[in-house]
Amino acid sequence: MSTSKRHKNSPSRPTLQDVADLAGVSSAVVSYVINDGPRGTSEEAKARVREAIKELNYHPNANARGLRLKRTKTVGIVVNDFDPMKLFIAQYSAMMLTGLTERLKEKGYYILVIPITIGEDLKNIEALLNSERLDGTVVRLTEHSSLTDQLLERIYEAKIPCVCIEEPPAENFGFSAITYDDLAGAYEAVNYLINQGHRRIGHIRGDLRYASAKRRFEGYYSALKDAGIPYDDALVRGDTWDTSIIEGVVPELLALDNPPTAIFASSDLTAIAVINQLRRYRVQVPQDIAVVGFDDIEMAAQFVPPLTTIHIPLVEIGERAADLILEHIEAENNLKPDRLVFPVELVLRDSV
C-alpha cells in the first residue's frame, strides 16, 4: 500500500491520492472508477474506492481536471448589446437565456455569463477566451458592424466553438447560427391589417442600430408596397425601443390630417405603451385603432385587451442553441456550421 506524505493530516480538501491511499489502490484506479474508464477495474476495487470517496467526501478538483483535459464543462454566454445592463431585464432576451440555461444544465454544463457592451475594449474577453476556461460560446448578436465582427474574430482566433443567436455572423467564421424570420413576421402582421381593410397603418420603429428593427420596418414597408399602399413617412415614428417616447408619439399621430387606423409596433412593450397612451385620448383599441405588437412576451396575453402579436419561439431557440453548441464541442469544432431560421407566427388576440 502506497502512502502519500503530502496529505497526511491536511485540513484542505481530500485529493484523489487520499482516496487511493484509503482504498489501498493506486491513483490510476481511482481515476478509472470515477470516470468509468478508460480502463476497466475489478468490482472489488470499485467498491473500495467508492467507499473511500464517500468516507472522505471527495470531490474532483475542476482546475486540475481542466488543466489535464482541456475541457471544463463550461459554456460562455456572450450578450453583445449596446446596453448589456438590460441583459436580464429585457423580457425578450431573458426568455432565450432561460431555454439555454435550462438545457445546458441538464447536460451537466455550467454557464459563464459574459455581458459585452458594443464598442467596449475586448482585451478582457480575449484573455478569457484564450484561458482554456470555456469549452464553447453562445453569442447573442444584435447588430452587424465591424465592432461585432471584432468580437467574433476574437472567438474565431481562440478556436472556440461558437453558436450565434438572433443575427447571423459573417459566413467566413464558420459559426452556426440560429435566427428567426423577423421580416416575414412583420410582413404578415401588416398584411393582416391590410386585409382587415386598413390603409393608414402607422409603425413604431425600433432602435435602428439593431438589425431586427430594420427588418421589422422592412417587412412593414414591403407589405404596404405589395398592397399598393403608398408609404408615408409621417406614419413612422420611434427609432428606439424605449417606450417612454410613446407619450409624445401618440398625440402626434392622432393629430395628423389623416391619422392611422392601425399601428404596427416593433415590440410588445411598445404596443402596450401605445395602447396605454391611446386610452388617455379615449381612443378605443381595436374599435378606433388596431394595434399589433411583436415578440409575444408573457404580458401580451394578459394585457387588456390581449395583444395581437408575432410569436417568436424564444425558449426553443435557446434550447436549440444549447444542443448545437454541445454538438460542436463534442465534434471538437469540426462540425459543419448549421444555419437555422425559426419561423414566427401571428397570434390573433383582441387588439386588432
CB count in 10 Å sphere of residue 336: 8
User: Cell numbers at residue 16, please?
Assistant: 484523489
User: Cell numbers at residue 115, please?
Assistant: 455581458
* Residues forming a β-bridge with 339: 177
Q: Are 271 and 243 in contact (CB under 8 A)?
A: no
Range in contact with DNA (rule: CB under 7 A) among 37-45, 204-212, 246-254, 303-311: 37-45
What gap in Å lies between CA 242 and CA 273, rounded to an integer? 10
- Please tell me the count of residues contacting DNA according to CB under 7 A: 35
What gap in Å lies between CA 290 and CA 284, rounded to an integer? 9
CB count in 10 Å sphere of residue 45: 18
Residue 56 binding a second copy, by CB under 8 A: no
Contact pick of 9, 36, 44, 287 for DNA (by CB under 7 A): 44
* Residue 2 binding target from a second copy, DNA, none, CB below 5 to 8 Å by type: DNA
Shortest gap between Cβ of 87 and a second copy (angstroms)? Answer: 7
Contact pick of 21, 41, 192, 297 for DNA (by CB under 7 A): 41
The vertex-212 CA angle with 211 and 217, nearest 5°, equals 100
* Residue 16 binding target from a second copy, DNA, none, CB below 5 to 8 Å by type: DNA
User: Cell numbers at residue 42, please?
Assistant: 475489478
* Residue 101 binding target from DNA, a second copy, none, CB below 5 to 8 Å by type: a second copy
* Residue 82 binding target from DNA, a second copy, none, CB below 5 to 8 Å by type: none
φ, ψ of residue 321 to 5 degrees: the values are -60, -40
Give alpha helix (H) positions in the chain: 16-23, 27-35, 43-56, 62-69, 86-89, 91-106, 123-129, 146-157, 182-195, 211-226, 246-254, 268-280, 298-302, 314-330
In the complex with a second copy, the residue whose CB is nearer, 51 or 350, is: 350
Task: Map the footprint of a second copy across residues 84-103, applying CB under 8 A.
Answer: 85-89, 91, 94-95, 97-98, 101-102
Q: Are 313 and 180 in contact (CB under 8 A)?
A: yes
Residue 277 binding a second copy, by CB under 8 A: yes
Shortest gap between Cβ of 18 and DNA (angstroms)? Answer: 7
Residue 128 binding a second copy, by CB under 8 A: yes
Residue with the three cell numbers 390603409? 199
Contact pick of 47, 51, 54, 64 for DNA (by CB under 7 A): 64
* Residue 54 binding target from DNA, a second copy, none, CB below 5 to 8 Å by type: none
Shortest gap between Cβ of 6 and DNA (angstroms)? Answer: 4
**Cis peptide preceding 14, ω within 30 of 0:** no
Residue 54 binding a second copy, by CB under 8 A: no
What gap in Å lies between CA 6 and CA 17, rounded to an integer? 9
According to DSSP, the β-strands at 201-205 and 236-238 are: parallel
Residue 139 binding a second copy, by CB under 8 A: no
Q: Which of 167, 181, 159, 200 is nearest to 80 (CA)?
A: 167
Shortest gap between Cβ of 22 and a second copy (angstroms)? Answer: 17
Residue 258 binding a second copy, by CB under 8 A: no
Interacting residue ranges for a second copy, rule: CB under 8 A: 13, 57, 59-67, 72, 74, 85-89, 91, 94-95, 97-98, 101-102, 105, 108, 110-115, 124, 126-128, 130-133, 243-244, 269, 272-273, 276-277, 279-280, 298-299, 302-304
Interacting residue ranges for DNA, rule: CB under 7 A: 2, 6-7, 12-13, 15-17, 24-32, 34-35, 37-42, 44-45, 58, 60-61, 64-65, 67-69
